[in-house]
C-alpha cells in the first residue's frame, strides 16, 4: 500500500504530539504548539504533513513555506528562530527492523517529494534533520545535497563521573566562581529579557544582529514553562550572564544564551552551565546537549572542555532549477551578510 | 605539528598506529598500501596513469601521532586520493594514535592540528586539482576538514553486532530471507572455507556481474592474489558448493574483532537462487563462532542494493566523504554529472 500525504488540522494536534513524544526523532521543536508559535514569527505558512499508510501513521513532516520573488521556499525549521533542527519524525522507529525502517523513511520521503513539487511548486527545499535520525540516504537518493551539522552531547547519568571527566581548568573555574560569590538563580520572563539584552550587546560587539524576536521567546516561555529553565548568574546582585535551557524527554538542551560577560575575571558561564548539568543529574536526566557550538570553529573548543561527544545531524538542500540555486546563493551569501548575518548560532560567548 | 612523507624505515611505527587505533583498517597497513599502489590506475581523458604513495605521518616532539596515506596521480588534473581508485577499497583516510581513549578536548586538538598540517602538505607539495578522501569507520569527527575548506558528506556501511548471538541475529532477519536460507540448506548447499584457487571464480563472477550492469570494475585478479599471499591471516575465502561444485563465494576481510564482507557473493544467473542468502548468513554464523564481535557489510549507499542488504537487519555505520576540488575540476565534474548537485 502506498504512503499518502495529508495536512494535519487542529483536530490532529494530540495525535501529532503523541508521535513526537514517542519517536526518538521527536523534539520539543516538533510539538504542535511550538510549531504554531514559530509560524507566527517566521513569516511563512506552516504545513503539518502526516504520512499515512491505510490507517497507520508512518511519520510527520512539519514544513514552512514562503514565496519570495516568485520562488517557492520550503524550510524545516524556518530560519532565524534559533531552531537548529526539525525535519521528519518517523513513527515506531525503534521497534522496527532495519528493512522496515528504511522502507518507512524512503516511502515517506518519496511522497513528500511529490507533494513538494506537485502541490507546493517548491524551488528550494532546506531540511535540517533531528538528532537520532542517522539515515540521511533518502535525501541523497532524492537529489539533495547533504551536509553535516554538529552538536555536543554529554552523558550526565552520573554526576561524579561527569565532574571528574571535565577539564581540570574548567572544574577550577567553576569552584572559583562559586567561591568568589557568583550566584546562579532560575528565573522567568524578566530574566529572559535580561539574557536577551546581553545577547544583543554581545552580538553588536561582533557587528552581528540578533534576529530572534523577544516576543517569540516570551510566547514560548508562556506555553512551555515546564520545559524551559532559565538560569542567570548574579554578582553582587547584578546580572552577569545567563542561559535558556530546554528540558524534554531525557535530555537538557543548552539553547539560547551564554554571552561572554563583562565580568572577565570570573567565568560565570561555566558556573551557569554546570548548575544546569548538576540539576539535570539530580532530576534524572541522561543527556546534556550544547546546541550549535560544536560546528563552529571558534566556539567549539570552549564547550569541548565538558568532555562531550559529537552528535551528527544533517542539512539537506535541494534546488528545482539552476536559477533557484543562483537565487539562494545571492540571498544567503550576498544579501544576508550585508544585513549583518547572525541567526545561525544561538550560543554566544 | 610536523608532517613527513615517511619511508619503509617507519613501517613498524606506522603499522602500530593502525593496529592500536579505533579506526585503523587492514587497508591502512604498510604492505597493503604498497600492493594497492602497485595495482591502482586512474583513468582520465582516455589515458590511464599509475600513482605514487605518500604515507603522511604527523609528529609531535618526534613522536608519531597520526597517519594519512595519500595516493597521487599525475593525470591532466593532479589527483590526491585516499583510498586509491580501482582497487575495490571504499574507505581509508586518516588514523590517529590512541584516538578512542582520549578526552574530547585533547582529541580535537591533535586531530585539528594534524588535518590542518596534512592539508597544507597536500596543497603545497602535491598541488592537486582534486583531493578526495573517504574516512574509515570509527573516525567520528570530520569537522577539521570542513574548517580547512573541504566539502564533507555522509556515507554508510551496514554492520551486525555479533555479540547479540547467532539465534537473535537469525530471528532478526526478514522472514522470506530466513526461509531462503533454510531452503538453501535443505536443497544441499554446502558452506566451506576455500583457498587461493577459488579467488579466480569469485573475481570472474564479480567482473561479469558488473559488466552486465555497465559498472566499471577494474579490480584485477593479480591484485587479489597478491593481497591473499601477503595477508593469509586476514583474508578469507568462503564458498558455497552444490554437488561438490562451487556455485558462489566471497573474499572477505578479518581484522581486529571484525569480519568485513568484501568481494563476491554476486548474483549469478542459472544457479540455486538461495545461494546468496545462504552464503551471507553462513559467513555471519562463521564470524559468530570464531569469536568476532562484529560483521560489516560494506557499502550501504546504493538504493537498490540496500533494499537487499537491509533484509538481514543490520544497523547503519557512518563514515564520511571529504572533497576539495579546484574551480576547473568541479566545473568539469558538473558538466559531466549535471548542475543540480
Q: ipTM score here?
A: 0.94
pLDDT value of residue B40: 95
The domain spans of chain B are 2-149, 158-318
> For testing the chain A interface, which of B104, B116, B340 should be mutated: the one with the most A CBs within 10 Å?
B104
With an 8 Å Cβ cutoff, is A280 touching chain B?
no
pLDDT value of residue A338: 43
SS3 per-residue string spanning A251-288: EEEEEEECCCCCCCCCCHHHHHHHHHHHHHHHCCCCEE
Q: Would the pLDDT of A1 be above 70?
A: no
- State pLDDT tens for residues A266-291: 999 999 999 999 999 999 999 999 99
Cell (9 digits) for A262 = 563583562
Q: Note whether B335 and B325 are within 8 A (CB).
A: no
> For testing the chain B interface, which of A98, A105, A314 should be mutated: the one with the most B CBs within 10 Å?
A98
- Whether residues B318 and A312 touch (CB distance < 8 A) is answered with yes
- Ordered alpha helix ranges (H), chain A: 13-22, 32-42, 98-118, 137-141, 159-165, 168-179, 189-205, 214-223, 268-282, 300-303, 322-329, 336-339
With an 8 Å Cβ cutoff, is B137 touching chain A?
no
Q: Which residues on chain A are in Cβ contact (under 8 Å) with B340?
A: 143, 318-319, 322, 325
Cell (9 digits) for B52 = 605514487
Q: Of B141, B154, B311, which is closest to A136 when you measure between CB atoms?
A: B154
C-alpha A241 chain-centroid distance: 21
- Count of CB atoms situated within 10 Å of the CB of B235: 21
With an 8 Å Cβ cutoff, is A135 touching chain B?
yes
pLDDT value of residue A342: 30
User: Which residues 39-98 on chain B approach chain A with CB closer than 8 angstroms?
Assistant: none
Site of grid cell 594534524: B114
With an 8 Å Cβ cutoff, is A297 touching chain B?
yes
Helix A32-42 and helix A214-223: axis angle, to 10°? 160
CB contact set of B291 (below 8 Å; sequence gap of 6+): B257
- Whether residues B320 and A305 touch (CB distance < 8 A) is answered with no
C-alpha B50 chain-centroid distance: 20
The CATH architecture assigned to B2-149 reads: 3-Layer(aba) Sandwich (3.40)
pLDDT value of residue B337: 66
With an 8 Å Cβ cutoff, is A161 touching chain B?
no
CA-to-CA distance for A317 and A125, rounded, in angstroms?
5
Which stretch of A11-15, B129-133, B209-213, B316-320 has the lowest confidence by average pLDDT?
A: B209-213
With an 8 Å Cβ cutoff, is A155 touching chain B?
no
- Greatest extent of chain B over all pairs of C-alpha atoms, in Å: 63
Q: Note whether B153 and B320 are within 8 A (CB).
A: yes
Q: Would the pLDDT of B50 be above 60?
A: yes
With an 8 Å Cβ cutoff, is A344 touching chain B?
no
CA-to-CA distance for A207 and A87, rounded, in angstroms?
31
Homologous superfamily in CATH for domain B158-318: Gcn5-related N-acetyltransferase (GNAT) (3.40.630.30)
Strands B47-49, A287-290: parallel, antiparallel or unpaired by DSSP?
unpaired
Q: Which residues on chain A are in Cβ contact (under 8 Å) with B137?
A: none
- Same fold across A4-143 and A152-310: yes
pLDDT value of residue B44: 74
With an 8 Å Cβ cutoff, is B301 touching chain A?
yes
CA-to-CA distance for B18 and B68, rounded, in angstroms?
10
pLDDT value of residue A261: 87
Q: Of B105, B146, B313, which is closest to A99 when you measure between CB atoms?
A: B313
Percent of chain B whose pLDDT exceeds 70: 98
- Same fold across B2-149 and B158-318: yes
Q: Of B140, B153, B315, which is closest to A147 when you measure between CB atoms?
A: B153
Q: Which residues on chain B are in Cβ contact (under 8 Å) with A148?
A: 142, 146, 152-154, 320
Cell (9 digits) for B198 = 577459488
With an 8 Å Cβ cutoff, is A312 touching chain B?
yes
- Whether residues A137 and B143 touch (CB distance < 8 A) is answered with no
CA separation (Å) from A170 to A72, A179, A261, A269, B98? 47, 14, 16, 11, 24
Q: Note whether A339 and A174 are within 8 A (CB).
A: no
C-alpha B220 chain-centroid distance: 16
Q: Give the three-class secondary structure for A184.
A: strand
**B261 φ/ψ sector (left φ>0, alpha ψ -120 to 50, else beta):** beta
Which stretch of B27-36, B98-107, B237-246 has the lowest confidence by average pLDDT?
A: B98-107
Q: How confident is the model at residue B81 (pLDDT cuts 50, 70, 90)?
A: very high
- Whether residues A102 and B307 touch (CB distance < 8 A) is answered with yes
What is the pLDDT of chain A when averaged over all its residues?
92
What is the pLDDT of chain B when averaged over all its residues?
94
Say which CATH topology domain A152-310 has. Aminopeptidase (3.40.630)
Q: Note whether B254 and B196 are within 8 A (CB).
A: no
Residue A222 DSSP symbol: H
Strands B63-74, B78-82: parallel, antiparallel or unpaired by DSSP?
antiparallel
- Whether residues B146 and A98 touch (CB distance < 8 A) is answered with no
User: Which residues 314-333 on chain B approach chain A with CB closer than 8 angstroms?
Assistant: 314-316, 318, 320
- State pLDDT tens for residues A149-203: 999 999 999 999 999 999 999 999 999 999 999 999 999 999 999 999 999 999 9
Q: How many CA atoms lie within 13 A of B127 on its CB side?
A: 3
- Whether residues A97 and B141 touch (CB distance < 8 A) is answered with no
User: For the residues B75-84, what does the mean pLDDT come to?
Assistant: 92
Q: Note whether B30 and B14 are within 8 A (CB).
A: yes
Counting one residue from chain A and one from chain B, the pairs whose CB atoms sit within 8 A come to 83
CA-to-CA distance for A171 and A177, rounded, in angstroms?
10
CA-to-CA distance for B278 and B9, rounded, in angstroms?
45
- Give phi and psi for A284, each to the nearest 5: 80, 15
Q: Note whether B318 and B159 are within 8 A (CB).
A: no
Q: Note whether A47 and A110 are within 8 A (CB).
A: no
- State pLDDT tens for residues A296-337: 998 899 999 999 999 999 999 998 876 666 666 666 665 544
Q: Note whether B36 and B43 are within 8 A (CB).
A: no
Q: Of A103, A150, A308, which is closest to B104 when you measure between CB atoms?
A: A308
> For testing the chain B interface, which of A93, A94, A95, A99 should be mutated: the one with the most B CBs within 10 Å?
A99
Q: Would the pLDDT of B265 be above 90?
A: yes
Q: Which residues on chain A are in Cβ contact (under 8 Å) with B103?
A: 165, 167, 307
Q: How confident is the model at residue B216 (pLDDT cuts 50, 70, 90)?
A: confident
- State pLDDT tens for residues A189-244: 999 999 999 999 999 998 988 889 999 999 999 999 999 999 999 999 999 999 99
Q: How many CA atoms lie within 13 A of B223 on its CB side?
A: 21
- State pLDDT tens for residues A107-145: 999 999 999 999 999 999 999 999 999 999 999 999 999
The domain spans of chain A are 4-143, 152-310
- Whether residues A99 and B311 touch (CB distance < 8 A) is answered with yes
Q: Note whether A49 and A6 are within 8 A (CB).
A: yes
Q: How confident is the model at residue A340 (pLDDT cuts 50, 70, 90)?
A: very low
Q: Note whether B153 and B318 are within 8 A (CB).
A: no
Sign of CA dihedral B295, B298, B301, B306: negative
- Nearest-Cα distance to chain A for B246, in Å, is 30
SS3 per-residue string spanning chain B: CEEEECCHHHHHHHHHHHHHCCCCCHHHCHHHHHHHHHHCCEEECCEEECEEEEEEEEEECCEEEEEEEEEEEECCCEEEEECCCCCCCCCECCEECCHHHCCHHHHHHHHHHHHHHHHHHHHHHHCCCEEEEEECCCCCCCHHHHHCCCEEEEEEEEEEEHHHCHHHHHHHCCHHHHHHHHHHHHCCCEEEECCHHHHHHHHHHHHHHHHHCCCCCCCCHHHHHHHHHHCCCCEEEEEEEECCEEEEEEEEEEECCEEEEEEECCCCCCCCCCHHHHHHHHHHHHHHHCCCCEEEECCCCCHHHHHHHHHHCCEEEEEEEEEEECHHHHHHHHHHHCCCC
Q: How confident is the model at residue B57 (pLDDT cuts 50, 70, 90)?
A: very high
pLDDT value of residue A334: 55
- Nearest-Cα distance to chain B for A324, in Å, is 10
Q: Of B140, B306, B340, which is closest to A319 when you measure between CB atoms?
A: B340
Say which CATH topology domain A4-143 has. Aminopeptidase (3.40.630)
Sign of CA dihedral A270, A274, A277, A279: negative
Q: Would the pLDDT of A347 be above 50?
A: no
Cell (9 digits) for B132 = 578526495
- Whether residues A301 and B154 touch (CB distance < 8 A) is answered with no
With an 8 Å Cβ cutoff, is A332 touching chain B?
no
- Nearest chain A Cα to B109, which residue? A301
Site of grid cell 535520525: A133
pLDDT value of residue A339: 38
- Whether residues B105 and A304 touch (CB distance < 8 A) is answered with yes
pLDDT value of residue A335: 52
Q: Which residues on chain A are in Cβ contact (under 8 Å) with B152?
A: 147-148
Q: Would the pLDDT of B46 be above 90?
A: no
- Nearest chain A Cα to B334, which residue? A322
Amino acid at each position: 500500500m502506498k504512503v499518502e500525504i495529508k495536512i494535519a488540522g487542529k483536530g490532529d494536534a494530540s495525535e501529532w504530539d503523541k508521535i513526537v513524544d514517542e519517536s526518538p526523532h521527536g523534539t520539543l521543536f516538533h510539538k504542535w504548539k511550538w510549531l504554531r508559535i514559530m509560524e507566527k514569527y517566521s513569516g511563512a505558512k506552516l504545513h503539518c504533513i502526516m504520512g499515512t499508510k491505510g490507517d497507520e501513521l508512518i511519520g510527520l513532516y512539519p514544513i514552512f513555506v514562503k514565496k519570495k520573488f516568485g520562488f517557492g521556499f520550503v524550510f524545516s525549521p524556518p530560519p532565524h528562530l534559533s531552531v537548529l533542527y526539525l525535519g521528519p519524525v518517523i513513527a515506531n522507529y525503534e521497534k522496527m527492523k532495519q528493512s522496515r525502517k528504511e522502507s518507512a523513511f524512503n516511502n515517506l520521503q518519496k511522497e513528500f517529494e511529490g507533494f513538494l513539487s506537485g502541490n507546493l511548486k517548491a524551488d528550494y527545499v532546506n531540511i535540517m534533520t533531528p538528532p537520532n535520525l542517522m539515515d540521511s540516504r533518502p535525501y541523497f537518493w532524492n537529489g539533495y545535497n547533504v551536509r553535516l551539522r554538529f552538536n555536543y552531547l554529554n552523558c550526565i547519568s552520573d554526576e561524579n563521573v561527569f565532574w571528574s571527566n571535565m577539564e581540570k581548568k574548567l572544574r577550577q573555574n567553576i569552584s572559583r566562581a562559586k567561591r568568589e560569590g557568583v550566584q546562579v538563580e532560575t528565573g522567568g520572563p524578566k530574566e529572559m529579557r535580561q539574557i536577551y539584552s546581553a545577547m544583543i550587546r554581545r552580538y553588536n560587539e561582533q557587528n552581528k544582529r540578533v534576529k530572534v524576536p523577544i516576543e517569540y521567546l516570551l510566547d514560548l516561555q508562556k506555553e512551555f514553562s515546564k520545559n524551559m529553565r532559565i538560569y542567570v548568574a548574579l554578582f553582587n546582585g547584578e546580572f552577569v550572564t545567563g542561559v535558556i535551557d530546554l528540558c524534554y524527554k531525557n535530555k537538557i538542551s543548552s539553547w539560547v544564551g551564554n554571552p561572554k560577560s563583562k565580568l572577565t575575571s570570573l567565568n560565570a558561564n561555566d558556573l551557569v552551565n554546570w548548575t544546569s548539568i548538576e540539576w539535570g543529574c539530580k532530576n534524572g536526566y541522561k543527556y546534556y546537549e550544547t546546541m550549535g557550538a560544536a560546528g563552529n570553529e571558534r566556539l567549539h573548543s570552549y564547550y569541548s572542555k565538558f568532555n562531550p561527544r559529537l552528535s551528527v545531524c544533517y542539512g539537506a538542500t535541494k534546488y528545482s532549477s539552476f536559477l533557484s540555486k543562483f537565487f539562494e546563493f545571492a540571498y544567503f551569501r550576498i544579501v544576508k551578510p550585508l544585513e549583518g548575518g547572525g541567526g545561525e548560532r544561538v550560543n554566544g560567548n | 605539528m610536523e608532517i613527513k612523507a615517511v619511508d619503509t624505515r617507519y613501517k613498524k611505527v606506522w603499522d602500530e598506529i593502525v593496529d592500536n587505533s579505533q579506526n585503523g583498517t587492514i587497508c591502512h597497513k604498510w604492505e597493503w598500501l604498497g600492493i594497492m599502489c602497485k595495482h591502482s590506475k586512474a583513468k582520465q581523458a582516455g589515458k590511464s596513469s599509475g600513482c605514487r604513495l605518500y604515507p603522511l605521518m604527523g609528529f609531535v616532539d618526534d613522536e608519531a601521532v597520526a597517519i594519512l596515506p595519500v595516493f597521487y596521480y599525475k593525470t591532466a588534473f593532479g589527483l590526491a586520493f585516499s583510498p586509491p581508485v580501482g582497487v575495490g577499497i571504499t574507505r581509508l583516510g586518516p588514523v590517529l594514535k590512541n584516538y578512542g581513549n582520549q578526552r574530547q578536548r585533547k582529541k580535537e586538538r591533535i586531530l585539528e592540528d594534524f588535518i590542518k598540517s596534512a592539508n597544507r602538505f597536500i596543497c603545497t607539495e602535491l598541488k592537486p586539482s582534486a583531493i578526495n578522501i573517504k574516512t574509515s569507520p570509527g573516525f567520528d569527527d570530520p569537522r577539521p576538514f570542513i574548517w580547512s575548506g573541504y566539502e564533507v558528506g555522509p556515507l554508510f556501511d551496514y554492520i551486525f553486532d555479533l555479540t547479540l548471538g547467532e539465534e537473535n541475529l537469525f530471528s532478526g532477519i526478514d522472514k522470506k530471507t530466513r526461509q531462503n536460507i533454510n531452503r538453501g540448506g535443505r536443497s544441499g548447499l554446502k558452506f566451506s572455507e576455500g583457498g587461493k584457487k577459488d579467488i579466480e571464480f569469485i573475481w570472474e563472477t564479480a567482473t561479469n556481474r558488473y559488466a552486465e550492469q555497465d559498472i566499471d570494475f577494474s579490480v584485477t585478479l593479480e591484485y587479489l592474489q597478491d593481497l591473499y599471499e601477503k595477508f593469509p591471516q586476514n583474508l578469507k575465502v568462503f564458498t558455497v558448493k552444490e554437488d561438490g561444485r562451487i556455485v558462489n563465494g566471497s573474499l572477505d576481510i578479518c581484522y581486529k574483532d571484525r569480519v568485513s564482507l568484501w568481494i563476491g557473493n554476486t548474483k549469478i544467473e542459472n544457479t540455486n537462487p538461495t545461494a546468496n542468502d545462504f552464503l551471507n548468513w553462513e559467513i555471519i554464523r562463521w564470524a559468530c563462532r570464531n569469536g568476532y564481535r562484529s560483521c560489516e557489510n560494506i557499502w550501504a549507499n546504493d538504493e537498490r542494493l540496500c533494499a537487499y542488504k537491509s533484509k538481514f537487519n543490520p544497523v547503519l555505520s557512518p563514515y564520511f566523504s571529504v572533497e576539495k576540488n579546484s574551480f576547473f575540476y568541479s566545473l568539469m565534474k558538473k558538466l559531466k554529472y549535471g548542475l543540480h548537485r
